[in-house]
Amino acid sequence: MDIYLPIAEVSVNWPLLVLLGAVVGFVSGLFGIGGGFLMAPILIFMGIPPAVAVASQASHVVASSTSGVISYTSQKAVDYKIGLVMAGGGVLGALLGVELFRYLRLLGQADLAVALSYLLFLGAIGTLMLYESLGQILRRARGEVAPHKERRRPLWLYGLPLKMRFPRSGLYISAVPPFGLGMFVGVMSAIMGVGGGFILVPAMLYVLRMKAGVVVGTSLFQIIIVTAMTTILQAGRNQTVDIVLSMLLLLGGVVGAQYGARWSGRFRAEELRAVLGLIVLMVGIQMGLELFVRPSDLFAFAPGVAQ
């Protein structure tokens, strides 16, 4: 039951792609992330060229995030105001990131840049999230009371201009930090094909100090806008979006995200962070192995190359 992907120039099992879209969509809705950090490496492991995998799965991120936002909106758990500020920075970052990605492709270093980005960012963020959440879980298991820490925001947040009120998030801060955060995520979205939720969620919690109840939904809302722009730019500038691959991933992603959003309330926050940290770390390690472990076949024909 294989189907030919015209841009990727490979044949893959299409039911497997639909199932993959559903599983990653479930993870997206559960954790408030786009799921690109998980989807892109799996597609690469399946033989999809990295440039095509990064660009094509971005539409799946949009669909699964949209499905998740619908669920969180019904729970009044989305701060659209701060989400739009972050999305504004994200669109600018996406423009810069796509041009950088194009330049790396011209140099022949795009695949290496994708792999190194996954290794560095996922390895670091996964380790930190896992360490912090496991500490909380172990303290709770031993019956220890976690030391109370006042939720103070960094002092530099108060000295920046362009202050705005974000009532749903309980914030009165400068628009510069969320805009800058969105811009950074936009660049990462273009290079890594991720929604950036694995960066957004911790930053929104620990740096911006947003209310935990609106973090996941707001993250997904920002991801929709930025990743949609990234997909359009990648298709127009780099011609790396495989529409057949994108549609198959979309079919499963929309359904999976709905179920993930419903299940998110059944777990403690630290448990969700521990699982997410473990997944992020495992993907980062796997990408590192692909870089540094000697392959069994040193010579292989790339898709589209005459044999």
pLDDT digits (tens, 9 = 90+) for 91-103: 898 888 888 878 8
CB-CB contact of 231 with 55 (8 Å): yes
Q: What's the whole-number mean pLDDT along residues 173-183?
A: 87
Per residue in 248-292, pLDDT (tens digit) is 887 777 777 767 767 766 666 666 667 777 777 777 777 677 666
Per residue in 101-125, pLDDT (tens digit) is 788 878 877 667 777 777 777 777 7
Q: How sure is the predictor about 305, in pLDDT bands with cuts at 50, 70 and 90? A: very low
pLDDT at site 179: 92
Helix (H) and strand (E) counts in the chain? 12, 4
What are the residue ranges spanned by the domains of the chain? 2-143+156-292
Who's near 212: CB < 8 A, 6+ residues apart? Answer: 205, 269
Who's near 74: CB < 8 A, 6+ residues apart? Answer: none
Tokens of 64: 């699964």
Strands (E), the chain: 2-5, 10-13, 163-166, 171-174
Q: How sure is the predictor about 303, in pLDDT bands with cuts at 50, 70 and 90? A: very low
Integer Cα distance of 236 and 107 in angstroms: 19
> Rounded to 5 degrees, what are φ and ψ at 173?
-135, 170
pLDDT at site 64: 67
CB-CB contact of 172 with 153 (8 Å): no
CB-CB contact of 191 with 97 (8 Å): yes
Maximum pairwise Cα distance, the chain: 65
Query: Quick one: which of 11, 6, 24 has its CA closest to 62?
Result: 24
Q: How sure is the predictor about 304, in pLDDT bands with cuts at 50, 70 and 90? A: very low
The C-alpha angle 87, 155, 189, rounded to 5 degrees, equals 25
pLDDT at site 152: 59
Per residue in 121-166, pLDDT (tens digit) is 777 777 777 777 777 777 777 776 655 555 555 666 666 778 888 8
C-alpha distances in Å from residue 158, one per residue of 19, 62, 87, 153, 261: 46, 33, 22, 8, 34
Helix axes of 243-263 and 14-31: crossing angle, nearest 10 degrees:
40
Its pTM stands at 0.66
